[in-house]
Amino acid sequence: MLVRSEGENFSFGGDIMTWPDASVRELRARFSHYMSVFNRFEHLPLPAVAAVQGLCFGGGLELALRADVIFAAESATFGHPEQTLGIVTVPGGIYRVAERAGRSRASEWALTSETVPAATMERNGLVNRVVPDADLLKESSDFARKVARGPTRAYAAHEALLHAWAVGSVAAADEAMFDIAMPLFDTDDARRGIRSAVDSLNAGRASPVMDFNGH
């Protein structure tokens, strides 16, 4: 799955125009809904790639952070402008930045609302790959398409393991491991993949690239 935006910017973030006239109760209901929808994105059982160009701020960054892999155009910039409004990263930004880039960076960027270049985000692990602006669509689409042709049941299982680790710990992920992993051994992809690798080893040749079907 690929998530991208039309135009010069991925997203400036939340549309704040109606916020001043809304009650805190209304805003809470609204933001709670936003978070649950964003989290559904995070939990979709398929690999998700976000392609980011231009500005990726606030809620836009929080949406991109729900993807498994982030590609960024060279000129893309990221930031949490919330402190300029006197609020926090409501749909769950700061700790998702910390999860990828570390706590000290997450604090710094949230405290300063500074505009962070794509290259810095890549160096700190928030962005997977920075590509030339003109190549963003092709590079991110090619990657998403290649992944979509892979053993996607295994990818979903890897995502589930990372979620178990993120909400718990290494020990929690170990606890979940076999319930998540063992059904894979009954999949067509794994049966053929393992058989092919063993046959190749027995024949003394390199394993061929498998034609996985997602079943």
Catalytic hit among 62, 122, 159, 175: 62
CB of 81 to other proteins, least distance (A): 12
Of the candidate residues 28, 149, 191, 195, the single one contacting other proteins (CB under 8 A): 149
Q: How far apart are CA 203 and CA 136, in angstroms?
A: 41
Interaction of residue 113 with other proteins, rule CB under 8 A: no
For other proteins, the binding residues in 49-68 under the rule CB under 8 A are 55, 59-60, 63
x-or-dash string of contact with other proteins, 71-110, rule CB under 8 A: ----------------------------------------
The residue to which tokens 């929690």 are assigned: 172
Binding residue (CB under 8 A) for other proteins from 41, 74, 113, 172: 41
* Interaction between residue 2 and other proteins (CB under 8 A): yes
CB 49 within 8 A of CB 69: yes
Using CA atoms, how far residue 143 sits from 83, 120, 147, 156, in Å, is 35, 22, 6, 16
Q: Do residues 196 and 210 make contact, with C-beta atoms less than 8 angstroms apart?
A: yes
State the Cα angle at 22 between 57 and 88, rounded to 5°: 35
Decide if 62 is catalytic.
yes
Return the structure tokens found at 197.
């690798």
Calpha distance 65→16 (Å, rounded)? 20
Q: Does residue 195 interact with other proteins by CB under 8 A?
A: no
Please list every residue from 152 through 191 that binds other proteins, using CB under 8 A: 152-153, 155-157, 160, 180, 183
Q: Can you tell me whether residue 49 is helix, strand or coil?
A: strand
Q: Looking at this protein, which amino acid is placed at residue 125? A: G
Active-site annotation, residues: 62, 82
Give the residues lining the site for other proteins (CB under 8 A).
1-15, 18, 30, 33-34, 37-38, 40-41, 44-47, 55, 59-60, 63, 141, 144-145, 148-150, 152-153, 155-157, 160, 180, 183, 214
